[in-house]
Amino acid sequence: MSTKSLKMFILAASLLFITACSSPANSTDEENHTDSRTTAEELNKNEKQDLPDKTLQKGDQDKSVQHLQAALKEINYPIEANGKFDAETTWAITDIQLQLDDLDITGIYDMDTKEAINKAVKDKQEINPGSGLKQPEKDSGAKDKTVANPYEILSVVNKQSALPADYTPVDLVVPDIPFPFTEDLPKKQMRKVAAKALEEMFEASEEAGLDLVAQSGYRSFERQEAIFASNSQEHGKEAANNFSARAGESEHQTGLTMDVTTPSIENQLIIEFGETEEGKWLQQHAADYGYIIRYPKGKEDITNYQYEPWHIRYVGKKAAKEIMINELTLEEYIEKITN
């Protein structure tokens, strides 16, 4: 074979080898690789969590909570998606509610909050973690501590857990209910979410033929300081602390509490209120409107206060019903749902 013919033979063999290596199987592998990449992208898209369609609050534990936490992480909240509605999740929801307009500030995730978050994301409205409420520090384990999230409607305020001295709720309003005085005093005020529920309760009590009146709602840190000083001077500090809170330790500063009474006992705040028709009705129906008798009879060793049938506290309907049905204090309820 001539040299030219040998070169032609080698060239033809090389072309046959290249064609064999470029088989349809290799083309299919590449197409499969592309399909695999597309599927992964779709999977990532599908894994992006939408906001849940159910009300969630502290103590809840399920997939919906995990989805909520994942969605909060997507808007830069530094929380763990552990599936438990914990203090960090409560803070994130409270912080959002403080930043967005026309939301009840509760720390509870509800459908109004969902709609507001979705609208903010759609409208590219900034939600800045911590700008509404500073992120609480991790629990140091100290027995005595300041309430980290005073806006949360399940916050426990007592002799072991006090409100910040500078805490004044931003959503105080005057509920449209009867008072036994006409002066425009701060103690007529309550936080908006509690005021709306109280109006509904008073309307229902009136339809039942009862005569409830509201005596004392919000008190500032300074006002409570003056009240405790006066009671201490008259009764001594130890005795005063059985029925009067020190400044910061009073639920009245939360704006979620109202002392109620009735004209049949001359609008006094006395234990006998519990024996009136109004007091009995309140015991049976307060939870229907999200309220509890905060200092119940027989629980003085837990609340560290005497029985006060007139002192009602807003905690939301879910918590209120569980507390009243199981005859718990707020302290016992929080311990139950967080442990």
Asked if the model's pLDDT at residue 275 lies above 70, the reply is yes
Do 169 and 95 share a structural domain?
A: no
Is residue 277's pLDDT more than 50?
A: yes
- Shared domain check, 258 and 111: no
Is residue 11, in this structure, part of any structural domain at all?
no
pTM recorded for the entire structure = 0.83
User: In a 3-state reduction of DSSP, which class is residue 205?
Assistant: helix
234 and 196 in a single domain? The answer is yes
Give the model confidence (pLDDT) of 20-54 as tens digits: 444 444 444 444 444 433 333 333 444 456 899 99
Q: Are residues 86 and 209 in the same domain?
A: no
Query: Contact at 8 Å (CB) between 187 and 207?
Result: no
Which residues, listed in sequence order, are joined to residue 191 by a DSSP beta bridge?
172
Q: CA dihedral in degrees (276, 279, 281, 286; nearest 10)?
A: 180
Please check whether residue 23 lies inside any domain of the structure.
Answer: no
pLDDT at 33: 40
Residues 66 and 107 in one domain: yes
Domain residues for the domain of 79 are 42-132
**Which pLDDT tens digit goes with each residue over 12-24?**
444 344 344 444 4
Tens of pLDDT, residues 71-101: 999 999 999 999 999 999 999 999 999 999 8
| pLDDT tens readout for residues 216-261 | 999 999 999 999 899 898 899 888 888 888 889 999 999 999 999 9
Average per-residue pLDDT for the chain: 87
CATH of the domain at 55: 1.10.101.10
Q: Please tell me the distance from the alpha carbon of residue 244 to that of residue 311, in angstroms, as a whole number.
A: 12
> Residue 54 in contact with residue 64, Cβ under 8 Å?
yes
Q: Are residues 212 and 91 in the same domain?
A: no
pLDDT tens-digit readout, 165-185 = 999 999 999 999 999 999 999
Residue 233 lies in a domain: yes
Structural domains of the chain, count: 2
194 or 124, which is more confident: 194
* Same domain, residue pair 127 and 187: no
pLDDT digits 0-9 by tens, 111-142: 999 999 999 989 988 899 999 999 988 755 55
